[in-house]
Amino acid sequence: MFEISFGEIILISVVALVILGPERLPTVARTLGALVGRAQRFVSSVKADVQQQAADSGLLGISQDIRGAADSFRSQMQEQVDEVKNVVAEQQSALHEVASSAAAPFDEARRSLQPDVALAPAADTDPHELIAAAHRDDADDTLPLVNDKQLDLFDPPASAPADKPSA
């Protein structure tokens, strides 16, 4: 009720012994015990009266009916959710089967059209070398044409004659 530990009870009794003295302590303890017992009986009496009034007015029955309806509703909803989960799982597995069966002819056709395709380069290949090789393949050996009407703001291109005076 009050959640007083044994150590706290010992401390309170020592303080009471010091304050009240050994002559008055037994009578005060008896009186205090009687008051605590009377308070406990009063609380239990009030609790019983409240429960009796609730039972007489039908609140207890209504409360049980509401709990029963809530439990019933919860179980029905859980059944519906389980059914929907099962349907979704079935549809998902059917969809995966259709997708795999539809992809099979395309995979076979791809393999028959490209039988000599090399696999991807190994992981130990330097990516910078791959990028440089790709740029070398795509690079055009011809230099861009120089327009004479264009202002020369940067270094002249390599294809321009070196003896041409710059403006």
**What is the reported pTM?**
0.33
Write the Ramachandran bin of 9: left for phi over 0, alpha for psi from -120 to 50, otherwise beta.
Answer: alpha
- How many angstroms separate the CA atoms of 17 and 9, rounded? 12
Q: What are the φ/ψ torsions at residue 102 (nearest 5 degrees)?
A: -75, -30
Q: Which residues contact 166 (CB under 8 A, 6 or more apart)?
A: 152, 156
* Boundaries of every domain in the chain: 1-57, 58-100
Does 13 score more than 80 pLDDT? Answer: yes
Does 144 score more than 80 pLDDT? Answer: no
Mean per-residue pLDDT for 123-152?
Answer: 65
Average pLDDT, the chain: 80
Report the first-to-last Cα separation within the chain, whole angstroms: 103
